[in-house]
Amino acid sequence: MQRLVILVSGRGSNLGAIARACRDEAWPATIAAVISNRPDAAGLALARELGLPAVALDHRAHPDRAAFDTALADAIDAAGADWVVLAGFMRILGEPFVQRYAGRMLNIHPSLLPAFPGLHTHRRALDAGCTLAGATVHFVTPTLDHGPIVAQVAVPVRPGDDEASLAARVLVAEHRLYPQALRWCLEGRVRLRDGGIVAEPGLERGRFVD
């Protein structure tokens, strides 16, 4: 059974979706720990409710990014992680940290990358007049919200959408996308080789949800 460590900074709804997937007997992994850089994150409270080991690691208690990254890596390794899963983790991670978990660290971002990395994705998509929005699961590389893509889901932008309504539609799609994409990686059906994606033929890695 592979061990996941999930990193959260906020609400934790993607954590919830992955935890639900883990209840399936055929799911090939278990959540070894949930770690948050924000001690008050709702995602951490959710982890406790679900009976998962929950670790608060306040980034403000560390003198700099490198010190925080080292403490984070220590906590991840103490949990015996095979995979690091970023689920709304809103801290930039330094290059040594990213290299340490290369090929076994995933992130979800609420846009069709490479469009709109960073913050305020939905507002920027609406401002740009996009007719499609969506979400991407990708392997983490040192560049923020960048890296080889495991899977994407596209959703329509509807007339009258505002940031909140678009974010809500994308989030529903995220909750289906992340467990599926993660599972493909756990099973070795999608993996990283020489900095690029190798995927089993026939996987529906791109989907449109109306």
Distances (CA, A) of 144 to 20, 27, 109: 28, 29, 10
Among 56, 73, 171, 199, binds ligand GAR (CB under 6 A): 171
Q: Residue 93 annotated as binding?
A: yes
CA angle 20/26/32 to nearest 5° reads: 55
Please give the size of the binding site for ligand GAR, defined by CB under 6 A: 16
59 a catalytic residue: no
Which residue among the candidates 109, 120, 122, 175 is catalytic per the annotation?
Answer: 109
For residues 62 and 66, what is the distance between their CA atoms, to the nearest angstrom? 9
For residues 11 and 158, what is the distance between their CA atoms, to the nearest angstrom? 25
Residue 126 structure tokens: 């609406």
Among 174, 182, 190, 191, binds ligand GAR (CB under 6 A): 174
Chain centroid to CA 3: how far? Answer: 15
Q: Is 146 in the site for ligand GAR (CB under 6 A)?
A: no
Judged by CB under 6 A, the stretch of 6-14, 73-81, 96-104, 185-193 that binds ligand GAR is 6-14
Among 12, 134, 147, 179, binds ligand GAR (CB under 6 A): 12
Q: Is 10 in the site for ligand GAR (CB under 6 A)?
A: yes
Q: Which helix (H) or strand (E) holds 144?
A: none
For residues 37 and 72, what is the distance between their CA atoms, to the nearest angstrom? 9
CA angle 80/84/85 to nearest 5° reads: 135
Q: Which is nearer to ligand GAR, 14 or 37 (CB)?
A: 14
Among 13, 141, 152, 180, binds ligand GAR (CB under 6 A): 13
- Just list the catalytic residues: 109
- Tell me the binding residues: 12-14, 65, 90-93, 107
- Tell me the binding residues for (6R)-10-formyltetrahydrofolate: 65, 90-93, 107
